[in-house]
Chains A and B, each alone.
Chain A
Amino acid sequence: MKVVIFAILFLAVLSRCDRFDENLIIQPLLDGKLASEFRFITTAQNKDHFVVFPRTLAHVMEKFNVREMHLSLTQGRWRYDKWGEPLSPTPVGAELIALFHNSHNITDQWKGLVHALSGLLCASLNFLDTTTQSTYASGVVSGLSSDPNFRYGTLSHETVCTENLTPFKKLLPSRAKCGLGTLLSSIKMYDSQFHSIGVHFESSERGYELMQTITVVSDLLYGRTNRVFTDFELSRVFDQHQPILKCPFAVNTSVLIDTSRLEVEGVNPFADKQIGFVKPNNIAETSGRHEHLINLVPGTPLSLKFQFNEKVNIPSEYPAQIPIIATRHESNTPITAELSLNVENTLDTQIVVHYYDAIPWYFRMYWHTLTVVGGKVKYINRRTARERQRPAELEMAVLLGPRENFTVSFNFDKVFLKYTEHSPDANRGFDLSSSVLYYTFNTSDNATTIPLHFPPHRDINRIYTDSLLVSLPTPDFSMPYNVITLSSTILALFFGSMFNALVRRFNEELLPKQGLLARIFQKLKSKKS
C-alpha cells in the first residue's frame, strides 16, 4: 500500500509541472472502527508563481529559510494495542519539526516560523518559542540529528478543533469544495476518537512540495450494541451526502481500501471469508489481497459501499499488533518524582529501540538517578538542562532480545516557578510531553543517527508514548502585596528594634521631655507592669 502512495509521490515530483493529488486510505480496524487518512499533495515548480500551491504558506517558508517542516495537531490517543501501527505517527497535541537552510540566527527563524504558523492555522503555537511551555530540542544532541539547523518542539496541551480545520481547508487548492475534500465535515471529524491534521512541507531544487494529511478514526458501529462488523458506506461515515466528484485540476484522485489490519495472527476474523464491496462505477484495481484501489474519473461521482459478506465478530482480546509496547508512568513524592518507561518486545526477533525524551527545565532532572534495567544499552547521549533556557535531552539505544523488556527510570525535582511563570490555569499542572521511540531491525553497530523525517521511508518506524501531567506546587496568586509587606516588615522590625536597642538610653533622667502622646503611652505602660 505504501509503495503505491510513494510511487505517486515520486512521479509527482518527477513530472515537471505543478500537481495536485488527492488520496484517501481507508483501513477498517479490529475493534469496529475505521481509520481513514486523507492526503493532499501539491507541488510548485516556480517559487513565485503558483498554480495549485498555497501562496501564503510558500511565503512563510521562504521568509524563514525553511528546508523541511512537519507540523501535526492531534487530539485523542492512538490505541496501539487495538489498532496497531498508526498511519502517520503523531504525539498528542501539537508537534513541529523544522529543518532550516542555514544555521545563523536559527532561534529568530524558529520563532518567526512558529508565530507565522500559528497565524496560518489558528493554533496557539506561539508557546513553542518560549522554553517554559514546551519541550524544545535544538538538535545538537548528537545521535538524534547531527544537523545544527534542526529544531523540534511539542505542546501536549494544545487542543484541536474546527478552528484549525477551516484554515487548513483554505490551504487546499480545492478549498474542500470538490474532490475528496468534500468529505471533510467538521462535526463528524471532531466527534471521533482520534483525529490529527498534518502539514508537511519540503523545499528542494525541484521546487516546493506540500502534503496535507488528515487522519480520523471513526466509529462504524454507530452505537450498535452487538459487536458485529457488517458494512459501511463512505458517505455515512463522513456524513456527507453530496456527490463526490473529482476536481478538474487534480491530476490523480484515488481511494485505497486496505483490509490488512483485519488479518492479524491469532485473531483472523476474516480468514477465508470473502470481503467484497459494491463496485462503484469507477475503475477499480485490485493490487493485492488486502488492497483495493479506486481511481476517480472526472464526471463520475464516487459512491462507495463496503460490505462484509459474512458477519464478523469483534475480538474480545487483542494480540500485540506492533513490535514494541511502551508504557510510561510517574510517581510522586513531596518534592521529587520518578519517571519510568517500560518497553516490551513482542516479537521473536531482536530489535533495536531508540528512545528520545526531552524533559522541560522546570522538572529538574537528576542524571545520577538514571537507571536502565534489562536489554543491552548501545549508547546514551545526554544534554543537561539550563533553567529558563533549554530542556534536558536524553537519547539512548537499547538492543532487546526476543520477548524481552527494559525499563528506564530517573528522578526529577519539581522546580518552584515565579509568580508570572505559571500559566493562568496553574493548578492543572504541567505537561511532560510524549517521548519518541524508534525501532529498527537493523542491529548493526553503526546505526547511531535517526532522523525525525516524515514519512518514514526507511526501515525505521516511530511510535509515541502518552503524555503525562505533573502538578507543580503553586504559590498563592492573590498575595503579592501581602508578601512584600510582610517580608519587608520582618526586615524593618529587626532594623528598628536593633537600632532602638543600640541608641537606647537606660538613664531615665537624661531623657528629654516627652511629648503629650508619649507621656500618656508611658503612663499606660507603667500601669500594665
Chain B
Amino acid sequence: MSKTRWLLLGALAVSIRVTLFALEFDKTFSNMVEFTTPTTSFKRLKEALHLTDLGMSPYSSSVFIQPPLTLLPFSLPKVYAPSQTYITEQLWPRALFILLDLLMAYLLCRIGALTYKLKILDRIPTAESYYKNLQTLLPAVYLFNPVLIASCVSMSTVIFNNLAIAIMIYYALRNNVILSTLGLSLACYLTVYPLVLLIPLIVMFHQIADVHAGKNVGVNKSIIVKVILWSVIWQGLLQYMSFTIMGRSWEFLQQAYVYALSVADLTPNWGNFWYFFIEVFDHFRQFFLLMFNIHMLSYIAPLCIRFRRDGLFISVIMIAITSLFKAYPTFGDFFFYITLFAMYIPLSVHMRYGFSIVVLMLFTMLVGPAFFIAWVQKGTGNANFFYFVTLAFLMSQVLLIVEFVFAKLKHNYNLKKGVVEVTKEHSE
C-alpha cells in the first residue's frame, strides 16, 4: 500500500480518536458495559497501579483480575519520569491505545497482503480484485469501524488480546514459528481461551508449508514439535516474568486466571454467562462452569477434520467461537473477528440469512445500552430486558459464524464438483 494512502488513513484515524479523547468521551465509554468488563477495564488497572504505588500488592483487593504484565506498559513511564503526572497518567495511556490501534491496522494490512500473495484464500475468480484490495480494506475496516473506535477510546485492554492474535496470524503467514508462538503465548497469557488456537496454528503452518512446497505435504512432525516447544518456552518466560515482578510469589495466578474463569465477578456484559451465573443454583454451578469453558475444545477436532487444508479459516472460526463463549466478551472482541471475516466476504454469496443477521445485530446493538441504563440507572426496567437483548445479539453472532462455515463448505463442494462461482454482484 502506498505511503500516501497510509498516511491519509493513519492521520484520519488518529484525528478521530484524539478528538474523542479531547471531548472526554473516554469517560462515557469506559463506563459502558459494552466496551469494558472486569477483565478489560482501565479503571481497575488504574486502581491496581495506585495500590502498587502505595506499596500493596495489586491483587490485595478483588478489583484487579488481569495478569501482572498488563501493568508494565503503564507503570514504566513512572519509573523514568515520576513527577510528570500529567504525562504519565493522562497523556501516555491515551497515546498508547491510539498507537496500538495503528499497529493493529498495520498488521492487518500486512496480513491482507500476505494472504493475497500466498493465494490461500478461496479461489473465486470474480473476487480477485477484492483480494487484491484486502491490504487496504482490512485496516480501513478496522480503523473506521465506529464500534472499534469507541472500544479504543474507552481504553479497554482488549486491544492487547487482539494484537497478540494478530501477531500470531501474521507471523504464521510468514512461516515464523518463533514469533507466531510468541503471539499465541501472549494471547494465552492474557486470557486462557486462546489455548484452543494451538492446533489450528499447527494446521496453519502445514497449510503454509503446502503452499511453499507446491504440493500436499503430509503431517510434518517437526512443525508440531517446534510449535509446541516454542509455545511452552514463551509461556514459561511470561509466567516467570510475572512471578518476578510480583515479588516472587504465585498469588496472581488465583486472581488473574481462576477468578476470571470461575465468573466470580458478575458484572453484566454482552456474554452468555453473567446472568446465568447470577441465577443458577449452587448445586449446578460448578458443573455448568466447567461445561461452558470446556465445550469450546470440542469444536477443534471436527473443524480440523473438515477443513484439513485451511488452517487460517479454522483459526478465524475458533477465534470467533472463543469470543462468543468467553466469560467477559466486549464489542472489541466481537468486531475483531468480524473484521477478520472480511477476508471471506466473497463467500457470502452462499449465505442464507445474511440480511437477517445484519439487521438483528444493528437492532440489538442500539437497543441494548438503552435497556441497560433503564435497568441500572433509572430503575424503570428489569434485568431481563437487557438480558434478552444480549441473547438476541448472541443469536445473531451464532448465525453469523455458522453461516460462514456453511458458506465455506458449500464453496468447497462446488469446487469439488467444478461449479464456477460468481460473486454477489452477478448472483441472482
Direct touching of A and B (C-beta under 8 Å): yes
Residues of A within 8 A of B (CB): 332-336, 361, 364-368, 382, 384-387, 392, 415-420, 471, 473-476, 479-480, 483-484, 486-487, 490-491, 493-495, 497-499, 501-502, 504, 506-507
Q: Is the CB of B383 within 8 A of A498?
A: no
Cβ contacts under 8 Å, B273 to chain A: 487
Cross-chain contact of A419 among B279, B324, B391 (Cβ < 8 A): B279
Q: Is the CB of B402 within 8 A of A497?
A: yes
Chain B residue nearest to A411 in the complex (CB): B43
Cross-chain contact of B413 among A333, A386, A476, A506 (Cβ < 8 A): A506
One of B47-55, B170-178, B207-215, B354-362 contacting the partner = B47-55
Q: Is the CB of A493 within 8 A of B395?
A: yes
Provide the bound-state CA to CA distance between A387 and B274, in Å. Answer: 17
B325 at the interface (CB under 8 A from A): yes
Question: What are 9 A-B interface contacts by the 8 Å CB criterion?
Answer: A387-B62, A387-B264, A415-B267, A416-B266, A419-B280, A473-B376, A475-B383, A479-B384, A504-B406
Provide the bound-state CA to CA distance between A381 and B279, in Å. Answer: 37
Q: Is the CB of A497 within 8 A of B398?
A: yes
Cβ contacts under 8 Å, B63 to chain A: 364, 366, 384
Cβ contacts under 8 Å, B295 to chain A: 491, 495
Provide the bound-state CA to CA distance between A206 and B309, in Å. Answer: 88
Cβ contacts under 8 Å, A368 to chain B: 46-47, 49-50
CB distance from A126 to the nearest CB of B (A): 20
Contact status of A498 and B325, CB under 8 A, knowing A367-B54, A484-B280, A491-B295:
no
Instruction: Summarize B's interface: helix, strand, loop or mixed.
Output: helix
CB distance from B410 to the nearest CB of A (A): 7
B401 at the interface (CB under 8 A from A): yes
Q: B residues 254-279 with Cβ under 8 Å of A?
A: 264-268, 272-279
Contact status of A486 and B383, CB under 8 A, knowing A367-B47, A473-B375, A491-B292:
no
Task: Other than A483-B275, A484-B288, A487-B272, give 9 A-B pairs with Cβ distance below 8 A.
Answer: A366-B47, A367-B61, A416-B266, A417-B266, A475-B279, A483-B387, A494-B401, A501-B402, A501-B406
B60 at the interface (CB under 8 A from A): yes
Provide the bound-state CA to CA distance between A392 and B60, in Å. Answer: 11
Cβ contacts under 8 Å, A473 to chain B: 375-376, 383
CB distance from A487 to the nearest CB of B (A): 4
Q: Is the CB of A416 within 8 A of B279?
A: no
Provide the bound-state CA to CA distance between A336 and B36, in Å. Answer: 14
Contact status of A480 and B401, CB under 8 A, knowing A487-B276, A498-B299:
no
Q: Is the CB of B279 within 8 A of A502?
A: no
Cross-chain contact of A502 among B54, B61, B379, B409 (Cβ < 8 A): B409
Q: Is the CB of B398 within 8 A of A479?
A: no
Cross-chain contact of B31 among A335, A384, A479, A491 (Cβ < 8 A): A335
Residues of B within 8 A of A (CB): 31, 33, 43, 46-47, 49-51, 54, 56, 60-63, 264-268, 272-282, 284, 288, 292, 295, 298-299, 302-303, 306, 324-325, 372-373, 375-377, 379, 382-384, 387, 391, 394-395, 398-399, 401-402, 405-406, 409-410, 413
Chain A residue nearest to B273 in the complex (CB): A487
Provide the bound-state CA to CA distance between A361 and B264, in Å. Answer: 13
Provide the bound-state CA to CA distance between A473 and B384, in Å. Answer: 12
CB distance from B192 to the nearest CB of A (A): 19
Contact status of A476 and B384, CB under 8 A, knowing A419-B279, A487-B275:
yes
Cβ contacts under 8 Å, B281 to chain A: 480
Contact status of A384 and B280, CB under 8 A, knowing A418-B266, A479-B384, A501-B409:
no
Chain B residue nearest to A473 in the complex (CB): B376
Q: List 7 A-B pairs, minimum CB-CB distance, nearest first.
A: A384-B61, A368-B50, A387-B62, A334-B377, A497-B402, A487-B276, A416-B266
Q: Is the CB of A474 within 8 A of B383?
A: yes
CB distance from A112 to the nearest CB of B (A): 25
Cβ contacts under 8 Å, B46 to chain A: 368
Q: Is the CB of A384 within 8 A of B398?
A: no
Provide the bound-state CA to CA distance between A104 and B413, in Å. Answer: 73
CB distance from A417 to the nearest CB of B (A): 7
Contact status of A484 and B398, CB under 8 A, knowing A385-B61, A387-B62:
no
Q: Is the CB of B401 within 8 A of A498?
A: yes
Chain A residue nearest to B388 in the complex (CB): A486
CB distance from B78 to the nearest CB of A (A): 13
CB distance from A174 to the nearest CB of B (A): 50
Provide the bound-state CA to CA distance between A366 and B54, in Å. Answer: 13
Provide the bound-state CA to CA distance between A473 and B381, in Å. Answer: 10
Provide the bound-state CA to CA distance between A73 and B99, in Å. Answer: 59
Cβ contacts under 8 Å, B399 to chain A: 497
Q: Is the CB of A502 within 8 A of B405?
A: yes
Cβ contacts under 8 Å, A417 to chain B: 266, 278
Chain A residue nearest to B33 in the complex (CB): A335
CB distance from B374 to the nearest CB of A (A): 10
Q: Is the CB of B280 within 8 A of A480?
A: yes
Cβ contacts under 8 Å, A487 to chain B: 272-273, 275-276, 391
CB distance from A500 to the nearest CB of B (A): 8
Cβ contacts under 8 Å, A384 to chain B: 51, 56, 60-61, 63
Chain A residue nearest to B56 in the complex (CB): A384
Cβ contacts under 8 Å, A497 to chain B: 398-399, 402
Q: Is the CB of B395 within 8 A of A490?
A: yes
Cβ contacts under 8 Å, A415 to chain B: 265-267
CB distance from A509 to the nearest CB of B (A): 12
Q: Is the CB of A502 within 8 A of B303?
A: yes
Q: Is the CB of A334 within 8 A of B31?
A: yes
Chain A residue nearest to B405 in the complex (CB): A501
CB distance from A387 to the nearest CB of B (A): 4
CB distance from B151 to the nearest CB of A (A): 18
User: Which of the listed residues A387, A484, A501 has the most CB atoms from chain B within 10 Å of its own CB?
Assistant: A501
Provide the bound-state CA to CA distance between A366 and B46, in Å. Answer: 9
Chain A residue nearest to B392 in the complex (CB): A490
Provide the bound-state CA to CA distance between A474 and B384, in Å. Answer: 10
Provide the bound-state CA to CA distance between A302 and B343, in Å. Answer: 97
Cβ contacts under 8 Å, B302 to chain A: 498-499, 502
Provide the bound-state CA to CA distance between A385 and B264, in Å. Answer: 15
Cβ contacts under 8 Å, B282 to chain A: 420
Provide the bound-state CA to CA distance between A420 and B277, in Å. Answer: 11
CB distance from B61 to the nearest CB of A (A): 3
Q: Is the CB of A490 within 8 A of B268?
A: no
Q: Is the CB of B279 within 8 A of A484?
A: yes
Chain B residue nearest to A332 in the complex (CB): B377
CB distance from B35 to the nearest CB of A (A): 13
Provide the bound-state CA to CA distance between A382 and B56, in Å. Answer: 10
Cβ contacts under 8 Å, A476 to chain B: 382-384
Cβ contacts under 8 Å, B306 to chain A: 502
Provide the bound-state CA to CA distance between A386 and B391, in Å. Answer: 31
Provide the bound-state CA to CA distance between A368 and B325, in Å. Answer: 32
Chain B residue nearest to A386 in the complex (CB): B62
Provide the bound-state CA to CA distance between A455 and B372, in Å. Answer: 50
CB distance from B411 to the nearest CB of A (A): 11
Contact status of A366 and B43, CB under 8 A, knowing A336-B31, A384-B60, A506-B410:
yes
CB distance from A85 to the nearest CB of B (A): 36
User: Which of the listed residues B62, B264, B413 has the most CB atoms from chain A within 10 Å of its own CB?
Assistant: B62
